[in-house]
Amino acid sequence: MTSDEQTRQKRAAAERAVALVESGMVVGLGAGSTAMFAIERLGARLARGELVDVRCVPASIGVGAVATRLGIALTTLETNPVIDLTIDGADEIDPQLSAIKGGGGALLREKIIAQASRREVLVVDASKLSPMLGTKHSVPVEVAPFGWRSQQRFLESLGARASLRLSPTGAPYRTDQDNHIVDCMFGPIREPETLARALSARAGIVEHGLFLGLATDVLIADATGVRHETGGERR
Q: What angle do CA 193, 93, 181 make, to 5 degrees?
A: 70
Report how far apart, in Å, the C-alpha atoms of 36 and of each of 2, 174, 199, 216 are: 20, 21, 29, 20
Of 110, 120, 142, 207, the active-site residue reads: 110
110 has catalytic annotation = yes
| Side-chain half-sphere CA neighbours of 86 within 13 A | 32
Q: What backbone phi and psi angles, to 5 degrees, belong to 173?
A: -65, 140
> What is the torsion angle, in degrees rounded to the nearest 10, for the CA atoms of residue 135, residue 137, residue 142 and residue 146?
90
Q: What backbone phi and psi angles, to 5 degrees, belong to 61?
A: -60, -40
Q: Are 24 and 53 in contact (CB under 8 A)?
A: yes
What is the 8-class DSSP label of residue 177? T
* Residue 53 to residue 178: CA distance in whole angstroms: 33
Q: Are 92 and 192 in contact (CB under 8 A)?
A: no
Report how far apart, in Å, the C-alpha atoms of 8 and of each of 24, 33, 142, 222 are: 29, 12, 31, 9
Q: Are 99 and 91 in contact (CB under 8 A)?
A: yes
Q: What are the residue numbers of the active site?
A: 110
